[in-house]
A and B are shown apart, each in its own frame.
Chain A
Amino acid sequence: MYVAVKGGERAILNSYALLGEVRRGDPALPELSLEQIREQLRLAVDRVMCEGSVYDPELAALAIKQAAGDLVEAIFLLRAYRATLPRLGYTLPLDTAHMRLWRRVSATFKDLPGGQLLGSTYDYTQRLLDFSLAAAGEAPVAAQAAPAAAEAVPRVVDLLGDEGLIEAHVPAAGDPEPRDLTREPLTFPAERAVRLQNLARGDEGFLLAMGYSTQRGYSHSHPFAGEIRHGLAEVEIEPEELGFAISIGDLELTECQMVNQFAGSKTQPPQFTRGYGLAFGASERKAMAMSLVDRALRAGELGEAAESPAQMQEFVLSHSDSLEASGFVQHLKLPHYVDFQAELELVRRMRAGLQAAGEEEERAA
């Protein structure tokens, strides 16, 4: 039996209007501009770009405003908008070794070429609420060092790699085209390129919990943050009509190289293994969590038993997307009147059956 339910139209239209009013809040207060969101809520903008999987700070700011600050909703809005745009092509692979750095830290080496740059981080703050921010004050000014001589800032993993102490990551012969999850559905087993794409757009909270679980013993990965770098990476494309590569701008990125438990065999001397995280914007927690999960998901190829949730591809990759997760959880609030009627009927019938059987027994006794 299918029963069409009508009658909600006016209620829905009025709920739009109410949502608009509630989103705007007290009209006596000035309205937020997209520039204010972009400049002053930049980590929210970064998260929306990262999980919305579209680098465009202005669009992300608009999505945050429209979603009244609900970032998962904003991510949904950005993904929906994305679907209206044509795909113009693919960029050349980013060269993260030559990023212009805002921040670069390593937990594995104190002294390293290029040094440790703390950048703008909450790490060393006291986590005490700063009530001076409650009142508008003067804009703080950053300190500036003397301009440093151009200095190479090699990746920490490359330094270890020079000694052969860490596994090398080189592309397979012919540098094959990676599959693209925005064009092809996810299938299992998923190769690493597909897993990284899935994790890069995955929900930060989910990846954080999964990454945390690996540290608490659900998989044996024993991680060190080999290097975290945050800054600008140049984007290059090679348009066919030009026949040569051009640079089309810089993306703010965070990269995390996690150095993990070493492995060795009779044929291979012991060496460290690696996990990788890369995220749009200043998204350090996300990049770190991603690198932990990437490493855990490599269990199969490194000959480890996949015993923990974070090591199970199908579990991790199928549940990482906030859009899918939020959609499926939230659909439960939509009308299920008919389904529920059917179950109600069934329970009533079962109870009636039980009662009848009970009465029968009583009579027999």
Chain B
Amino acid sequence: MSAAGMHAGGALAGLTPGFSDPVGAAQAVFRLCLERLSRPGTLAEVRSDAALPAGLHVASGALLLALLDQDTRLWLSPAAAGAAAYLRFHTGCVPVDDPAEADFALAASVRELPQLERFAQGSEDYPDRSTTLIVQVESLATDAGWTLRGPGIADSVRLSAAGLGAAFALDWAANRRRFPCGVDVFLASDSRLAGLPRTTRLEDSACT
């Protein structure tokens, strides 16, 4: 936070509001998250009235406000670091520097996405202790790109995420091999949201 924001409201001066109805909004967003993970590759529109700090897309901001609390550790990629004070104020989350310690993580852009193996993977006994990762992308579409198969998909669906190409598909394949461990991913672009649970297979990397 800048020193210029220090008058009157002290450290609060730079902060903006979260959800106007924190409980209702968090429940609605949580429902969307469940649906996206149970129907991989399908898109949802996330509605949120939170006044998000720079660097957070509507969908990823709403997800973080809904899912974080004082018992969760959060890793933010460098371009999203400015959102830390906001998220801590509204959720009580604990920011961490090491992705391997994170319960939740946000990559502000594809460029800032680390290798998936650098995040917490969970253990054979507790595969749920892996990181849930949100990646912000420039666009999401369902009429092009990868072919997705796996649980929750009747036959196959298509999904393209701008900027996520062959390198990610390779990394994702490695993530799948770590099953039951491995990370789950949400892709966010403005208010659009898609889920990639660790069980989903990506075929035909055709993204640009």
In the assembled complex, B12 has its CB within 8 A of some CB on chain A: yes
A232 to B158, CA, bound (A): 65
Q: Which residues of A contact B89 (CB under 8 A)?
A: 240-241
Q: Which residues on A are within 8 Å of B, measured CB to CB? A: 86-89, 240-243
B29-49 contacts to A, CB under 8 A, are: none
A242 to B13, CA, bound (A): 10
Checking B11, B15, B69, B70 against A242 with a beta-carbon cut-off of 8 angstroms, the contacting residue is B11
A87 to B94, CA, bound (A): 14
**Nearest-CB residue, chain B, relative to A240:** B88
B10→A86 contact, CB < 8 A: no
A87 to B10, CA, bound (A): 24
A241→B70 contact, CB < 8 A: no
Q: Which residues of A contact B11 (CB under 8 A)?
A: 240-243
The number of A-B residue pairs with CB atoms under 8 Å apart is 20
A241 to B5, CA, bound (A): 13
**0/1 interface trace, chain B 1-41, chain A, CB 8 Å (1 if under):** 00000000011100100000000000000000000000000
**0/1 interface trace, chain B 87-119, chain A, CB 8 Å (1 if under):** 011001000000000000000000000000000
B69→A243 contact, CB < 8 A: no
Closest beta carbon of chain B to A185's beta carbon, Å: 16
Closest beta carbon of chain B to A82's beta carbon, Å: 15
Q: Which residues of A contact B92 (CB under 8 A)?
A: 86, 88
Q: Which residues of A contact B15 (CB under 8 A)?
A: 241
**0/1 interface trace, chain B 123-159, chain A, CB 8 Å (1 if under):** 0000000000000000000000000000000000000
A241→B69 contact, CB < 8 A: no
A87→B70 contact, CB < 8 A: yes
Checking B12, B70, B88 against A86 with a beta-carbon cut-off of 8 angstroms, the contacting residue is B70
Known A86-B69, A86-B70, A87-B70; contact A243-B10, beta-carbon cutoff 8 A: yes
A86 to B88, CA, bound (A): 15
**Nearest-CB residue, chain A, relative to B70:** A87
Closest beta carbon of chain A to B134's beta carbon, Å: 23
A101 to B42, CA, bound (A): 65
Residue of A86, A241, A242, A243 with most chain B CB atoms under a 10 A cut-off: A241
Q: Which residues of A contact B88 (CB under 8 A)?
A: 240
Closest beta carbon of chain A to B75's beta carbon, Å: 19
A243 to B88, CA, bound (A): 14
A-B contact pairs, 10 of them (CB 8 A): A86-B69, A87-B70, A88-B70, A88-B92, A240-B11, A240-B88, A241-B10, A242-B10, A243-B10, A243-B11
A89 to B92, CA, bound (A): 9
**Nearest-CB residue, chain A, relative to B88:** A240
A86 to B92, CA, bound (A): 10
**Nearest-CB residue, chain A, relative to B6:** A243
A240 to B89, CA, bound (A): 8
Q: Which residues of B contact A86 (CB under 8 A)?
A: 69-70, 92
Given contact pairs A88-B70, A241-B12, a sample of 7 additional A-B residue pairs in the complex whose CB atoms are under 8 Å apart = A86-B69, A240-B11, A240-B89, A241-B89, A242-B10, A243-B10, A243-B11
**0/1 interface trace, chain B 43-85, chain A, CB 8 Å (1 if under):** 0000000000000000000000000011000000000000000
Closest beta carbon of chain A to B84's beta carbon, Å: 12
**Nearest-CB residue, chain B, relative to A183:** B71
Closest beta carbon of chain B to A282's beta carbon, Å: 32
A243 to B85, CA, bound (A): 13
Closest beta carbon of chain B to A41's beta carbon, Å: 34
**Nearest-CB residue, chain B, relative to A244:** B10
A86 to B15, CA, bound (A): 22
Q: Which residues of B contact A87 (CB under 8 A)?
A: 70
Closest beta carbon of chain A to B40's beta carbon, Å: 31
A241 to B92, CA, bound (A): 11
Closest beta carbon of chain A to B143's beta carbon, Å: 42
8 closest A-B pairs by CB: A241-B12, A241-B11, A243-B11, A241-B89, A87-B70, A242-B10, A243-B10, A242-B11
A243 to B13, CA, bound (A): 13
A241 to B12, CA, bound (A): 6
**Nearest-CB residue, chain A, relative to B9:** A241
Closest beta carbon of chain A to B15's beta carbon, Å: 7
**Nearest-CB residue, chain A, relative to B12:** A241
Q: Which residues of B contact A240 (CB under 8 A)?
A: 11, 88-89
A360 to B12, CA, bound (A): 91
A87 to B15, CA, bound (A): 22
A242 to B89, CA, bound (A): 11
Q: Which residues of B contact A88 (CB under 8 A)?
A: 70, 92
Q: Which residues of B contact A243 (CB under 8 A)?
A: 10-11
Closest beta carbon of chain B to A253's beta carbon, Å: 26
Q: Which residues of A contact B10 (CB under 8 A)?
A: 241-243
A253 to B69, CA, bound (A): 31
Q: Which residues of A contact B69 (CB under 8 A)?
A: 86
A189 to B33, CA, bound (A): 42
Q: Which residues of B contact A89 (CB under 8 A)?
A: 70
A39 to B24, CA, bound (A): 37
A241 to B6, CA, bound (A): 11
